[in-house]
Structure 1
Amino acid sequence: MSKTGIIFDIKRYSIHDGPGTRTTVHLKGCPLACWWCHNPESQSVAPVVLFRGEKCIGCGSCVKSCHNGAISVRGGTLVTDDGLCDGCGKCCEVCPPEARELCGRHYTVDELMTQLHKDEIFFRDGGGVTFSGGEPFMQPEFLFEALDACGRAGYHRTLDTCGFVSKSVITDSVKRADLYLYDVKHMDPEKHKEYTGVDNVVILENLRAISEAGAKINIRVPFMPGLNSGDENMHALGRFVQPLKGITGVNILPYHTVAKGKHDRWHMEYKLSDLLPPTENQTRHAAGILEGYGLKVHIGG
């Protein structure tokens, strides 16, 4: 029987998630909680209902639709009990102003492949499928079956990962993936834990492990001024990556404020409200340090 996974977005015509024109499958769930997370709604594995109170007209349709009684009116305001909500999405279907949005839908691998086959013309011309998140390894059984199905179809397969996964799982994926987009957010384990919720020990060990297993890897560095932009961190990254096999390049991804808008939209805390994007000089300086280690560096996705 085809495995079932939870996907919160299928993004077509992507040109920043691997070679060529790609379809990016965003799986729910992530073990990290990065301060700059672009998809904060993806962090939990289960489907979640997101609510925009400013769009609510107070019609009460959602209250009537909820079979678990998770939605109620308190003091004139709609309140959802997350402990009772099972993420079925019925309240989203009946909301006239679309103030409620379901993030996450169950797919079988067969259902996913039906969607991917629609884009096959792009995959035959240098593109392919990228599995991202969240963190795709949060749903390993579904991920592996989907990767195998893409392989049988002849589709190029890219994994976009933070690397925080068991070594046995990620090394087992090497035979199923044609390319990894591997995030390295900080080289200092304490700083990494402060900014993401976990240290980087497992992440760096896994990067070395898939390199030794023959993977092709593109390193991606989210570049935040004052957080990980210092020369010491760039030199540490260069020293670590330089001897690894299979490195196709390093992408420096300059911080931007798009994530703040999404946090504000869904009333989530955003810790970097005052952070400005890096200047061109800052970004080029960091790229120059990494190029000094013989690495091919590209600024942007």
Structure 2
Amino acid sequence: MNGTVFNIQRFCVNDGPGIRTTVFLKGCPLKCVWCHNPESHKAEPELMFYKNKCVNCGRCVVMCKSGCHSLCNSSHIFDRHKCIKCFECTKTNCNALEKVGHEISSDDIITEVMKDKIFYDNSGGGITVSGGEPLFQFDFLLDILKKAKAHGLHTIIETCGFTTQIRIKQISEYVDLFLFDYKETDAKLHKEFTGFDNIIILNNLKTLNSMGKSIILRCPIIPGYNDREEHFNGIANIADSMENIVHIEIEPYHSLGSAKYDSLGMNERKITLPDENDKKIWLAKICAGTRKKVLLA
């Protein structure tokens, strides 16, 4: 079975226990205003243009079939509306143009992942499937996980939980640990920040807990959005109400994805970066309300 990925990253140590290979699938139903992987939103491959890396060589102008690249006064103009996504321009091998996302088979993914099997065995690691939202490509994800388990791999998915309950139950058989995003407690604010309320998400979280699945609650904290007492209390309450939530991970906002927005022709929401004191305050407030262990990512 084939699907679309935008990265396969080896030797990851922050995507679950041990040394892991993380497979990033393209496509996500949510549109979080703070997303640091905007290249994951659409399921199909996209063209990224880094204007600051362009040396105006003009090779892409010659190769482009649709005339979306041009040079004007020694400046590279890219008309994204004309782009037919043939990706011929990326064959110039310059650093300014990049195809993000490619089709790959589940067999090829497992072959790549199995290259580091010795490291997984010695560290308690394995495969983590992230995104985007991995459940967005459900059949592909299921195929990957079945093959991973057949090869004796420890499996994790990082999910926002926005899918049907049937799919959550079906996928859970092949997942050892869920990294479950908990973005906002208030349903109306969740819809404002992500495009959907959190009712389906919370129901799926409860379903996983009732099935006895191990869960790490991952909580992005975004200044000016969800850095509120009510949300901190909500994180603590939901964690304490579910015995199978192993611990909480606080993920402070960072701006590492800023350049990606411009390269995709997207507008980035300007968000204030938290300082170290902010992070300590958030950690202390959540720790004060829960019996669970709280870690700062």
**Which aligned segments of 4 or more residues in structure 1 are displaced greater than 6 angstroms?**
none
Distance in 2 of aligned mates of 1:70 and 1:182 = 43
Distance in 2 of aligned mates of 1:113 and 1:104 = 18
Distance in 1 of aligned mates of 2:235 and 2:286 = 11
- Could you say which residue in structure 1 is the equivalent of 2:55? 57
Over 3 Å counting, the alpha-carbon distance change for 1:62 and 1:251 in structure 2 is same
1:98 corresponds to 2:95? yes
Alpha carbon RMSD of aligned pairs, Å?
Answer: 2.1
The alpha carbon displacement at 1:159 in A equals 0.4
TM-score scaled by length of structure 1: 0.90
Q: Size of the alignment, in residue pairs?
A: 293
Distance in 1 of aligned mates of 2:282 and 2:90 = 42
Distance in 2 of aligned mates of 1:82 and 1:153 = 44
Over 3 Å counting, the alpha-carbon distance change for 1:172 and 1:12 in structure 2 is same
Instruction: State the Cα deviation string for residues 258-290 of structure 1 (Å, max 9, x = none).
Output: 233443555532213434346243123233234
| 1:89-168 matched pairs, under 5 angstroms | 89-95=87-93, 97-125=94-122, 126-168=124-166
Over 3 Å counting, the alpha-carbon distance change for 1:53 and 1:259 in structure 2 is closer
Over 3 Å counting, the alpha-carbon distance change for 1:264 and 1:282 in structure 2 is farther
- Could you say which residue in structure 2 is the equivalent of 1:22? 20
- Could you say which residue in structure 2 is the equivalent of 1:32? 30
Distance in 2 of aligned mates of 1:214 and 1:8 = 31
- Could you say which residue in structure 2 is the equivalent of 1:240? 238
Unpaired segments ≥5 residues, structure 1: none
TM-score scaled by length of structure 2: 0.91
- Could you say which residue in structure 2 is the equivalent of 1:230? 228
Kept in 1: contact 2:250–2:283 (CA 8 A): no
Distance in 2 of aligned mates of 1:82 and 1:121 = 47
Secondary structure class of the residue paired with 1:139: helix
The alpha carbon displacement at 1:223 in A equals 1.4
Over 3 Å counting, the alpha-carbon distance change for 1:70 and 1:277 in structure 2 is farther
- AA aligned to 1:171 is K
- Could you say which residue in structure 1 is the equivalent of 2:192? 194
Kept in 1: contact 2:36–2:255 (CA 8 A): no
Identity %: 35
